[in-house]
C-alpha cells in the first residue's frame, strides 16, 4: 500500500503507544486478580482499579501539553481516522450508554432500543450531513463555524448561548454517571465522587486542551471497550462456547422468551405517545423482553430514535472532534469507524442485559422467596435488587432492579472474581469521563473563542487564547460540580433533555448552513431561537402535564419549527452576500486549504503588514 | 483543483449521494421497529426475527450505509476533481 500524503502528519508510532497502554492496563487487571485470589484486601483492589487507570489517563493527558493554538483546539489536525472514530463512538455513548442504556434494556427490553438506534443513526447523519463540511471549514467550535458562515457576530454569540444548553445538560448527566460508577468503586458518596471525577477530567485536559483530550480519550475508549468485552465474552463462552456475545446471545433471548411465557409475564401495550424508560431507583421488570411498545409507545419510539439521532449528529462536542482529522476524507472515514465501534458496543450491551435477565428469570422468578441464591442476596444487601411482595413464590414482576447497576451486576451474579466487577465499573467510568471531559473542553473552547475573543480578534496571541480557554475550563469544572451536586434530576433524563435541545437547536441551523445556500444570518438566528424556545416551552408544558407529549421528545416539535423559521426568515430578508456564498461554495469542496486556517493566516498577514 | 464549471454538477452529485445514502436508512429506522412484534413470530437461527432485525440489522445497515457513503463520495470527489490535493 502506498504511504499517501494523507497520512503525512500522523504519528506512525501511535499503535505502539496504545498497545503499550493496553498491555499495562491488562497487566493491572491480572495483577489485581492475583492479589485478590491471594487474599489481599478488597480496599486495595478497589483503589488500584480506580486510581491506576485515572493515573494513566493523567500521564497521557499531562504529557500531551499544547504549545500552539492549533494543538490546543484541534490536536494539530493529525488524529488518524481510526483513533478519532474510536473516541467519537465512546464519547457519544458515554456513561449514559454504558450504564443507563444497559439497565433500561434489562428492565424494559426492546423498548430501550430507540436509544441504540439513535446513537448509530446519529453518527451516520453526522458523517453524511455535517462532518465533511465542518472539517473543510476547520473552525475550532461550532459557534465559530456558524458566525463565519453567516458573517455575523450576533449569530456567533447567540449560537454560543444556545449550544451551551445541551452541553451543560450533558455535563450534568455524565458527571452524575461518572460519580455513580466511582462511588461504587470507592464506597464513598456519589456527590463527593462526582466532584472528584470532574476535577480529574478537567485536570487531565487543562494544559493540553484537545490534544490531551484526544489521546487520553483513546486510552479511556480502550478501557471502556475492553471492560465491556471481558464479562460478556466469558459468559458467551460458558453459554455457547464462542466468545461472541453479540452473535450468540440470540439463543438466550429465545430461551428467555419461553421462560417469560411459562411464568405468565403479561403482554403490555402502551399508548403511541407513552414514554416510560426506567428512572434511577429500583424499577420492576413488568414486561416481556422482546415484546415491543410495552413501555415506550410506537410513535414515541420512532420520534425518540430521530431526536436522539439529531441530537448526536449535531452535538457540538462531537463535531469539534471532526476538526482534529488531517482532512475531509479522513473525517468521513473516522465516522465510518465510529459507526462500527458504536455498533459493536450497542450489540454487546443487549447481550449483557439478556444474560442478566435470563439469570433473574431462571434462578429467582418462580423460586421460594426465602431460598434465593447468594448472589441475589448480595445484590439485595447492596440495594441493587429488591423483591416487592412477600409472596412465597417470587414472580418476575415483583423483582425490582436498579437501572444503572446492571452492567456490573452481571459479573457479580455470574460469580466472577470481584476484580471483574471493578473492571466493569472502570469501563463505565472511563466512558463517562471521556464524555464529561469532551463536554468540558467544548464549553471552555466556546467561552474562550466565541464569547471572550469573538469574531474580529482572531489575531489575539496564541498564549492569550489558550490561557482564556484554561480559565474557562476551570470555571466550567466548578459549574459542573455544582450541577452534579445540586441538580436532583435523573441523569438519563438529563441526557435525553440534552439530546432534545441538541436536536432542536444546533441540528436545524447546521442543516441550513450547509445544505441551504440561501439561508442568511436572520434565518440562522430565527432557526436557533425558534428551536430553543419552542422546545423549552414544550418541555415545560410536558412536565406540568398540560400536553401529552413526553418532555424528552420536545425536540420533535422544536426541530421542524426551527427549520421552517429558518427558511421563512431567510426568504423575507435580503439574500446572503458574495463572501458568504463564496464560503459556502468553498466549504462544499473537499480540496484546497482549510478555510478557517486560511482566514486566520490572511488576517495575521494583514495585521502585520505596514500601514 | 476543481474547475469553476464543475461546482454545480459536483454539488448535484453530492446531494444525490446524500439522499441515496440516508433515505433507505431512514425508512429502515421507521419500518423495522414498527413491524418488530409481527416479525417476532418468525425465527432466524432461533432468534425472534423482529428483535434480531432491530438489534443487529439496524447496526449493520448503519455501518454499510456509512462505508458505502465514504467510498462513493470519495469517487465523486475524484470524478469532479474536487478531492484533496496535498
> At A381, which CATH number?
1.20.1730.10
Partner B, chain A 408-467, Cβ-Cβ below 8 Å: none
Inter-chain residue contact A253 with B47, CB threshold 8 Å: yes
The residue among A82, A102, A109, A128 with the most chain B CBs within 10 A of its CB, best to mutate, is A128
| CB-CB contact of A85 with A338 (8 Å) | yes
Per-residue buried b or exposed e for B26-45, using 16+ beta carbons within 10 Å of the residue's own CB:
bebbeebbbebbebbeeeee
Residue A53, domain extent: 46-604
* Closest chain B C-alpha to A2 CA, distance in angstroms: 15
The residue among A6, A113, A119, A124 with the most chain B CBs within 10 A of its CB, best to mutate, is A124
Nearest to B59 among A132, A293, A343 (CB): A343
Inter-chain residue contact B66 with A339, CB threshold 8 Å: yes
Inter-chain residue contact A246 with B56, CB threshold 8 Å: yes
In a domain, A178, yes or no: yes
* Closest chain B C-alpha to A437 CA, distance in angstroms: 27
Helix (H) or strand (E) holding A376: helix A374-381
In a domain, A20, yes or no: no
Q: Going by C-beta distance under 8 Å and a sequence separation of 6 or more, which residues neighbour residue A526?
A: A565, A566, A568, A569
* Closest chain B C-alpha to A109 CA, distance in angstroms: 10
Residue-wise DSSP of A281-329: SEEE--S-SS-SSSSB-HHHHHHHHHHHHHHHHT-HHHHHHHTTSSSHH
Contacts of B33 in chain A (CB under 8 A): 113-114, 117, 292, 298, 301-302, 305
Report pLDDT for A247: 87
Report pLDDT for A390: 65
Inter-chain residue contact A250 with B45, CB threshold 8 Å: yes
Report pLDDT for A458: 58
In a domain, A366, yes or no: yes
Inter-chain residue contact A301 with B40, CB threshold 8 Å: no
For residue A166, the tally of other CB atoms under 10 A from its CB is 28
In a domain, A58, yes or no: yes
Distance from the Cα of residue A610 to its chain's centroid? 48
Q: Going by C-beta distance under 8 Å and a sequence separation of 6 or more, which residues neighbour residue A558?
A: A500, A503, A504, A505, A530, A531, A532, A534, A535, A538
Mean pLDDT over B55-59 rounds to 94
Q: Residue ranges of the alpha helices (H) in A64-98?
A: 69-74, 81-95
Contacts of B56 in chain A (CB under 8 A): 246, 347
* Closest chain B C-alpha to A299 CA, distance in angstroms: 9
Q: How far apart are CA A526 and CA A285, in angstroms?
A: 45
Contacts of A581 in chain B (CB under 8 A): none
Q: How far apart are CA B21 and CA B15, in angstroms?
A: 10
Residue-wise DSSP of A491-560: HHHHHHHHHHHHHHTHHHHHHHHHH-TT--HHHHHHHHHHHHHHHHHHHHHHHHTSSSS-GGGTHHHHHH
Q: Is the ipTM of this complex over 0.90?
A: yes
Nearest to B48 among A246, A254, A298 (CB): A254
Query: Is residue B37 scored above 60 in pLDDT?
Result: yes
In a domain, A27, yes or no: no
In a domain, A517, yes or no: yes
The residue of chain B with its CA nearest to that of A329 is: B74
Average pLDDT along chain A, 611 residues, taken 10 residues at a time: 50 93 97 94 95 97 92 94 97 96 95 96 97 96 95 94 96 96 94 95 96 97 96 92 89 91 88 92 90 94 97 96 95 97 96 94 87 91 85 84 94 93 96 97 95 71 91 96 88 96 96 96 97 97 93 96 97 93 94 89 76 46
Cα pseudo-dihedral B30, B32, B33, B39, rounded to 10: 150
Cα pseudo-dihedral A123, A126, A132, A138, rounded to 10: -100
Report pLDDT for B47: 83
* Closest chain A C-alpha to B17 CA, distance in angstroms: 9
Report the number of secondary-structure helices (H) and strands (E) in chain B: 4, 2
For residue A587, the tally of other CB atoms under 10 A from its CB is 22
Query: Is residue B70 scored above 50 in pLDDT?
Result: yes
Nearest to B84 among A114, A117, A327 (CB): A327
Partner B, chain A 508-527, Cβ-Cβ below 8 Å: 515
Q: How far apart are CA A580 and CA A560, in angstroms?
A: 25
Cα pseudo-dihedral A370, A374, A379, A380, rounded to 10: 20
- How high is the mean pLDDT of chain A? 92
In a domain, A19, yes or no: no
Helix (H) or strand (E) holding B47: strand B47-48
The residue of chain B with its CA nearest to that of A249 is: B47
In a domain, A21, yes or no: no
* Closest chain A C-alpha to B36 CA, distance in angstroms: 7
Kindly report the CA angle at A297 between A292 and A301, in degrees rounded to 5? 80
Q: How far apart are CA A503 and CA A147, in angstroms?
A: 19
The residue among B8, B20, B59 with the most chain A CBs within 10 A of its CB, best to mutate, is B59
Inter-chain residue contact B7 with A585, CB threshold 8 Å: yes
The residue of chain A with its CA nearest to that of B1 is: A591
Measured N-to-C along each axis, helices A42-63 and A418-446 cross at an angle, to the nearest 10 degrees, of 30
Coil, strand or helix at A73:
helix
Backbone angles phi, psi at A10, to 5 degrees: -80, 135
Distance from the Cα of residue A279 to its chain's centroid? 19
The total number of structural domains in chain A stands at: 1
* Closest chain B C-alpha to A465 CA, distance in angstroms: 29
Cα pseudo-dihedral A286, A290, A291, A296, rounded to 10: 70
Amino acid at each position: 500500500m502506498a504511504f499517501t500524503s494523507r497520512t503525512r502528519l500522523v504519528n506512525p508510532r501511535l499503535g505502539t503507544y496504545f498497545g503499550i497502554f493496553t498491555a499495562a492496563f491488562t497487566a493491572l487487571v491480572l495483577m489485581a486478580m492475583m492479589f485478590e485470589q491471594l487474599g489481599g484486601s478488597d480496599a486495595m483492589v478497589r483503589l488500584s482499579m480506580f486510581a491506576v487507570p485515572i493515573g494513566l489517563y493523567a500521564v497521557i493527558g499531562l504529557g500531551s501539553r499544547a504549545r500552539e493554538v492549533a494543538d490546543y483546539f484541534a490536536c494539530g489536525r493529525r488524529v488518524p481516522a481510526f483513533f478519532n472514530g474510536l473516541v467519537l463512538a465512546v464519547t457519544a455513548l458515554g456513561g449514559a450508554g454504558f450504564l443507563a442504556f444497559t439497565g433500561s434494556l434489562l428492565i424494559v427490553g426492546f423498548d430501550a432500543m430507540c436509544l441504540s438506534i439513535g446513537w448509530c443513526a446519529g453518527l451516520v447523519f453526522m458523517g453524511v450531513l455535517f462532518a465533511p463540511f465542518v472539517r473543510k471549514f476547520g473552525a475550532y467550535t461550532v459557534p465559530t463555524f456558524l458566525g463565519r458562515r453567516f458573517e455575523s457576530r450576533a449569530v456567533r454569540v447567540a449560537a454560543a448561548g444556545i449550544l451551551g444548553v445541551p452541553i451543560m445538560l450533558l455535563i450534568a448527566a455524565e458527571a452524575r454517571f461518572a460519580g455513580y460508577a466511582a462511588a461504587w468503586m470507592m464506597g464513598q458518596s456519589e456527590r463527593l465522587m462526582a466532584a472528584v471525577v470532574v476535577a480529574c477530567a478537567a485536570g487531565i485536559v487543562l494544559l493540553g486542551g484537545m490534544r490531551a483530550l484526544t489521546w487520553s480519550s483513546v486510552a479511556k475508549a480502550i478501557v471502556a471497550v475492553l471492560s465491556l468485552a471481558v464479562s460478556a465474552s466469558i459468559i458467551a463462552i460458558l453459554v455457547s462456547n464462542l466468545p461472541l456475545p453479540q452473535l450468540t446471545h440470540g439463543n438466550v433471548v429465545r430461551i428467555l422468551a419461553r421462560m417469560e411465557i411459562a411464568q405468565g409475564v403479561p403482554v403490555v401495550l402502551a399508548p403511541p405517545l407513552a414514554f416510560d424508560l426506567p428512572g434511577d431507583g429500583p424499577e420492576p421488570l413488568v414486561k416481556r423482553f422482546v415484546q415491543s411498545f410495552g413501555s415506550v409507545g410506537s410513535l414515541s419510539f420512532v420520534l425518540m430514535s430521530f431526536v436522539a439521532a439529531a441530537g448526536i449528529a449535531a452535538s457540538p462536542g462531537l463535531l469539534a472532534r471532526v476538526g482534529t482529522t488531517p482532512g475531509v476524507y479522513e473525517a468521513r472515514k473516522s465516522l465510518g469507524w465510529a459507526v462500527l465501534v458504536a455498533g459493536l458496543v450497542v450489540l454487546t450491551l443487549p447481550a449483557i442485559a439478556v444474560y442478566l435477565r435470563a439469570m433473574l428469570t431462571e434462578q429467582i422468578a418462580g423460586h421460594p422467596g426465602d431460598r434465593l441464591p447468594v448472589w441475589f442476596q448480595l445484590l439485595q444487601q447492596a440495594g441493587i435488587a429488591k423483591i416487592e411482595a412477600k409472596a412465597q413464590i417470587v414472580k418476575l414482576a415483583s423483582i425490582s432492579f436498579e437501572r444503572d447497576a446492571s452492567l456490573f451486576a452481571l459479573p457479580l451474579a455470574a460469580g466472577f472474581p470481584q476484580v471483574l466487577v471493578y473492571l466493569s465499573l472502570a469501563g463505565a467510568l472511563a466512558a463517562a469521563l471521556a464524555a464529561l471531559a469532551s463536554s468540558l473542553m467544548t464549553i471552555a473552547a466556546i467561552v474562550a473563542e466565541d464569547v471572550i475573543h469573538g469574531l474580529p480578534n482572531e489575531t489575539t496571541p496564541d498564549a492569550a487564547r489558550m490561557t482564556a480557554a484554561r480559565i474557562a475550563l476551570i470555571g466550567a469544572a466548578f459549574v459542573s460540580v455544582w450541577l452534579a451536586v445540586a441538580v436532583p434530576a435523573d441523569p438519563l433524563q438529563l441526557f435525553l433533555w440534552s439530546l432534545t435541545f441538541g436536536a432542536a437547536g444546533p441540528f436545524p441551523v447546521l442543516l441550513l448552513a450547509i445544505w441551504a445556500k440561501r439561508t442568511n444570518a436572520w434565518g440562522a438566528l430565527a432557526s436557533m431561537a425558534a428551536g430553543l424556545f419552542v422546545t423549552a416551552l414544550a418541555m415545560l408544558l410536558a412536565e406540568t402535564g398540560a400536553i401529552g407529549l413526553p418532555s424528552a421528545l420536545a425536540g420533535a416539535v422544536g426541530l421542524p419549527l426551527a427549520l421552517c423559521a429558518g427558511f421563512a426568515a431567510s426568504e423575507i430578508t435580503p439574500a446572503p452576500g458574495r463572501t458568504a456564498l463564496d464560503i459556502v461554495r468553498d466549504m462544499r469542496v473537499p480540496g484546497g486549504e482549510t478555510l478557517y486556517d486560511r482566514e486566520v493566516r490572511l488576517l495575521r498577514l494583514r495585521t502585520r503588514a505596514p500601514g | 483543483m476543481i474547475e469553476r464549471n464543475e461546482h454545480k454538477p459536483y454539488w448535484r452529485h453530492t446531494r444525490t449521494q446524500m439522499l441515496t445514502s440516508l433515505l433507505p436508512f431512514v425508512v429502515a429506522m421507521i419500518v423495522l421497529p414498527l413491524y418488530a412484534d409481527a416479525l417476532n413470530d418468525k425465527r432466524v437461527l432461533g432468534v425472534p426475527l423482529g428483535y434480531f432485525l432491530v438489534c443487529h440489522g439496524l447496526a449493520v445497515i448503519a455501518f454499510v450505509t456509512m462505508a458505502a457513503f465514504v467510498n462513493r463520495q470519495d469517487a465523486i470527489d475524484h470524478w469532479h476533481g474536487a478531492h484533496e490535493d496535498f
